[in-house]
């Protein structure tokens, strides 16, 4: 298929490795002192690595390439996290080896916010309270940020218009099970199509080996609060 993908100018690359850090999907690695794309399926073509390169050695081009595989990226991210954070020592009490915490002080600026683009293994999810919002809610509810988003990490999605829902479920499972989110608040509108977002969360919760409290907030079509409950 023809799509936009990263191109690396080997002659201009000085081997600093900053682009590898900037590529959250794991498409780039340092090999023999140069940045190399290890697999096209890991490159989403958004170019987050481009501003990290001080030599201007990275650009985007449109060419024939394998399709971006979001599931493969999540699996790779999970393997990388396990390599950095080995399994807890057997025999210790549950929770006693959990060293994840959110440091005090200002939180990092969050981007992106679309669930389709978010890396579920990002450090922003460690110990975080997550707000999963249907796309329309932020536009329907006045004061959305101050009312619902304060001290939360945001993910947005539309259960009716977005595709690859299975990938969404897997991302939510990884947030619950591996990234260690503390709570998940789902905010939707009182319209039938929004119920699909709660269904994705229900499936993820069933598959996750770690329990995460889930709160459901429903807004009227006028943006008023209709109901707010913790889901059993």
With 0.75 as the threshold, say if the pTM is over it. no
**Model pLDDT, residue 35:** 92
Sorted by where each begins, the domain ranges of the chain are 2-64, 108-231
Residue 216 has a pLDDT of 96
129 touches 146 (CB < 8 A): no
Q: Does domain 2-64 have CATH number 3.30.230.70?
A: no
Helix (H, G, I), strand (E, B) or coil at 132: strand
Query: What's the confidence (pLDDT) of residue 99?
Result: 38
Distances (CA, A) of 42 to 28, 79, 80, 203, 207: 9, 14, 14, 26, 25
Mind listing the pLDDT tens digit of every residue in the chain (232 residues)?
889 999 999 999 999 989 988 888 889 988 888 999 988 998 998 888 998 899 999 999 999 998 888 888 877 776 666 555 554 444 444 444 343 434 444 444 577 899 988 888 888 899 999 999 999 999 999 999 999 999 999 999 998 888 778 889 999 999 999 899 999 999 999 998 898 999 999 999 999 999 999 999 999 999 999 999 999 8
d(CA 169, CA 131): 15
Helix (H) or strand (E) holding 196: helix 195-207
Whether residue 30 contacts residue 36, with contact meaning beta carbons closer than 8 Å, is answered with yes
The pLDDT score that the predictor gives to residue 227 is 95
């Amino acid at each position: 298929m023809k799509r936009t993908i990263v191109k690396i100018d080997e002659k201009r690359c000085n081997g600093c490795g900053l682009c590898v850090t900037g590529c959250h999907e794991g498409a780039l690695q340092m090999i023999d002192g140069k940045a190399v794309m290890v697999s096209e399926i890991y490159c989403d073509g958004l170019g987050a690595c481009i501003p990290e390169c001080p030599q201007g050695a990275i650009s985007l081009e449109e060419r024939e390439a394998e399709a971006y595989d979001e599931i493969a990226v999540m699996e790779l991210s999970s393997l990388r996290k396990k390599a950095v954070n080995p399994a807890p020592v057997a025999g210790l009490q549950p929770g006693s080896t959990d060293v994840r915490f959110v440091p005090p002080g200002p939180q990092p600026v969050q981007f992106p916010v679309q669930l389709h683009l978010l890396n579920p293994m990002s450090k922003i999810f460690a110990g975080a309270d997550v707000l999963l919002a249907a796309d329309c809610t932020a536009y329907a509810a006045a004061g959305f940020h101050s009312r619902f988003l304060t001290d939360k990490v945001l993910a947005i999605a539309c259960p009716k218009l977005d595709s690859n829902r299975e990938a969404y479920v897997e991302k939510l499972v990884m947030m619950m099970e591996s990234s260690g989110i503390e709570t998940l608040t789902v905010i939707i509108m009182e319209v039938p199509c929004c119920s699909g977002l709660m269904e994705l969360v229900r499936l993820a919760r069933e598959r996750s080996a770690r329990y995460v409290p889930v709160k459901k907030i429903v807004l009227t079509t006028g943006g008023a609060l209709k109901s707010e409950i913790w889901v059993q």
